[in-house]
Amino acid sequence: MKKSLLPFHLFTFSIFHLFTFLILPLFIFCAAAQAQEANYDENKVGVYTLPDAMTTLSGQKVAKKKQWEKVRRPEILKLFQDNEYGVMPDAKVKTSYRVVEESEDAMNGKAIRRQVEIAFSGNGQERKMLVLLYMPKGVKKCPVFVSPNFQGNATTTDDPAVIESQYSTFGRAHQTSRWSFERIIDSGYAIATFHYFDIYFDKDDKLAETIYPLFGINSKAQLQENTGKAITAWAWGCSRVLDYLFTLKNIDKKRAIILGHSRLGKTALWCGALDQRFAMVISNNSGCSGAALSRRNYGETVPRINTSFPWWFCNKYQSYNQDVSSLPMDQHELIALIAPRLVYVASAQEDRWADPRGEFLSLQEASKVYALYGLETFEGCSFPSVGEHLWRGNCGYHIRTGVHDVTDYDWQSYIEFAKERLGE
């Protein structure tokens, strides 16, 4: 009987052809299709018209700060609440503080370390967040950074006394490069951080495990069109940390700063818009639905972010996926809500997904509102070169080399800017 098997050289030949002519081209085609989803060509950004931050819904030009504060600012805030980030459910939760650990001898004696549990209760449920706080020793009134972390408190430092956050799945000291704690302390600033999962899991279908059940919301079906989700909840968490910090004598209530990176940069901007106790707001590489203009078709887009992260924004935001230009506001107006307080937007050269130019243009447009307060704006400034600091009045911008990240260079810039503008 004849063997029906292919001779070995024919067999290898056909495998080779299968790979070269079918699998490889298919792979290249898929990769190209994926890359095509995001536009990185400035020539293809398209023409867009931004809503005017300085014109009220009834068509009046805003010329005075009183008109801005009484009419236009509340209008814009509501537009963001109704169409993008949503509102926190309206219910009271009980809050209590418990110092879990404290040392006067942190960072070789330079700092006080305090770990505080903030417990929330409501609707028969309880949730806890763990705050890690470092304060410089011997400073009577220190400015403070509030900045949520991605991976858990113990990942931010190699300090062995730091307690692991309840939902952290990362090892100790896993992300220390993002936290310039020594520089912060040496500059006379305090820093408070918490794991953002303590407030709202960064996942879909986890609503019941977030803080929302405290407000009587246990399932997605209970969410209104304008109920906030993760970003609004994280912003709420940052404000609760500030409530605690303001109970401390040595924290300067006039110099609280919120800083967030990426999705937490979006959170920082939104929190800074809502909570005017923050004297300075820092958006580090916040990108789409953060600092970057939504109407610019570059990098991540609104339909894309709504598809990948539907649990970040209110349900209504989805309705703009087909036509982003129908959004009644754009992200420069989010930044404008921070006026006249300090705002700093930072980009990274290789972080094209976050659209660095779109982040800058947005801040530039927002800076016009600062003129109502007699402050300098970015009028006439062109996009700065990499490594240059563009600081005007109460607005700061830089684009550094490198990728999507928070680096010591970023921290150094924020601290210098804050020292110059908020005082030593």
Minimum CB–partner distance for residue 115 and ligand GCU (Å): 25
How far, in Å, CA of 101 to CA of 83, rounded? 41
Nearer to ligand GCU, 195 or 263 (CB): 263
Least distance CB 150 / ligand GCU (angstroms)? 8
Q: In angstroms, what is the minimal distance from the CB of 21 to ligand GCU?
A: 35
399 backbone dihedrals φ, ψ, rounded to 5°: -125, 125
Q: What are the E-state strand segments in 75-176?
A: 94-106, 111-122, 125-136, 142-146
Is 17 annotated in the active site?
A: no
421, amino acid identity: R
Minimum CB distance to ligand GCU smaller for 226 or for 347: 347
CA distance 229 to 89: 10
Q: Is 404 a catalytic residue?
A: yes
Which of 103, 239, 389, 404 is the catalytic position? Answer: 404
String of contacts with ligand GCU for each residue 350-389, x by CB under 6 A: ---x------------------------------------
Residue in 155, 262, 283, 407 binding ligand GCU, rule: CB under 6 A: 262
* Footprint on residues 293-322 left by ligand GCU (CB under 6 A): 300, 305, 308
Strands 342-348 and 251-261: unpaired
Residue 212 CA to residue 228 CA, distance in Å, equals: 10
Q: Which is nearer to ligand GCU, 256 or 305 (CB)?
A: 305
**Location of structure tokens 């006249």:** 340
Sheet holding 94-106, edge to edge: 94-106, 111-122, 125-136, 190-194, 142-146, 251-261, 278-284, 342-348, 395-400, 389-392
Based on the shown chain and the rule CB under 6 A, indicate whether residue 263 belongs to the binding site for ligand GCU: yes
Q: Please state the closest distance from residue 349 (CB atom) to ligand GCU, in A.
A: 16
Helix (H) or strand (E) run with residue 264 in it: helix 263-274
Single residue of 242, 288, 327, 369 touching ligand GCU by CB under 6 A: 288
The active-site residue out of 262, 283, 362, 413 is 262
Question: Binding to ligand GCU (CB under 6 A): which residues in 112-141?
Answer: none
* Tally of CB atoms within 10 A around 19: 12
Nearer to ligand GCU, 10 or 403 (CB): 403
Phi and psi at residue 73, to the nearest 5° = -60, -50
| Residues that are catalytic | 262, 404
Interface residues toward ligand GCU, by CB under 6 A: 262-263, 287-288, 300, 305, 308, 353
